Amino acid sequence: MQDIIEGFLQFQREVFPKRCELFKRLAASRVVPELLTQSEPGDLFVIRNAGNIVPSYGAESGGVSATVEYAVAVLGVTDIVICGHSDCGAMTTIASCKCMDHLPAITSWLRYADSAKAINQACAHVSETARIDSMVRENVIAQIANIKTHPSVALGLEQGHLNLHGWIYDIEAGSIDALDGLVGQFVSLADYPHVSATQSVFHHGI
C-alpha cells in the first residue's frame, strides 16, 4: 500500500504541476487510478462504477460483490480503497435531489448511498458546493460500512490481513484527503501518508 501512496505523492509533486491546466479542464471527469498512483498495468485491481458504490452483501449478489470476494479471497488483496472524487456527478444528483424517474436503473443503484444521503440532508451547508462536497465524503464513509458486510472482507479485517482506506481525490487541485478511522475525519494524505479508515492493530487490541 505504501508503494501506491508513494506513487500518488510522486504524481502530486511531479505530474500534476506540469499538467494542472488539463486537470482543471477535466475537473468534472472520472478518476484514472493508475495515473493518480503512478502504477504499472496489473498493479491495481480496479472496480469502477457510478458513485463508487459497494452494495451491502446480500442474497442478490452482483458483480461488485463477486469482484470484492475474488480480490480478497482469491487474489489476496490486502488493501481496499474506496475512492470518491470532487464534482462527482452521481453525488451531485443525490445532493441536489434531482428527479431521476426517467433513469430507473440508476435510481435503484444509487439507493446504496441512502445512508449518506440521510446524513447529508440532516446537516446545514453554507453553499451548494459545500452540500455536494459533504455528500461525497459521507458516501465514502457509507461505502466503507457497506463493504464491511461482505464475509471475505469481515474475515480479512478480523484476521488482521486486510485494511480499508477512504479517499477523496480533488481533481482540480490534484490532492487526496484520506479518512482517519480513529477520529472519523478526512485529512491530507500528503501530510498523513500512513492513515487508513480501519486500524487492524487497534481492532485486535495490540
pTM: 0.84
State residue 161 phi and psi, 5-degree precision. Answer: -110, 15
97 is in an annotated binding site: no
CA end-to-end span of the chain, whole Å?
21
Residue 89, number of CB atoms within 10 A of its CB = 13
Single-letter amino acid, residue 126: V
204 is in an annotated binding site: no
What pLDDT is recorded for position 117? 95
**Confidence category of residue 5, pLDDT binned at 50, 70, 90:** confident
What pLDDT is recorded for position 159? 94
Q: Residue 41 and residue 192: Cα distance in Å, rounded?
A: 26
**Confidence category of residue 206, pLDDT binned at 50, 70, 90:** very low
What pLDDT is recorded for position 6? 81
Residue 42, number of CB atoms within 10 A of its CB = 7
What pLDDT is recorded for position 19? 72
Residues 47-83 as b/e (b if ≥16 CB within 10 A, e otherwise) read eeeebbbbbebeeeeeebbeebbebbeeeebeebbbb
State residue 164 phi and psi, 5-degree precision. Answer: -110, 145
Lowest-confidence region among 28-32, 47-51, 129-133, 179-183: 28-32
- Using the predicted structure, report yes or no on whether residue 132 has a pLDDT greater than 90: yes
The domains found in the chain, sorted by start residue, are 1-86+143-188 (3.40.1050.10)
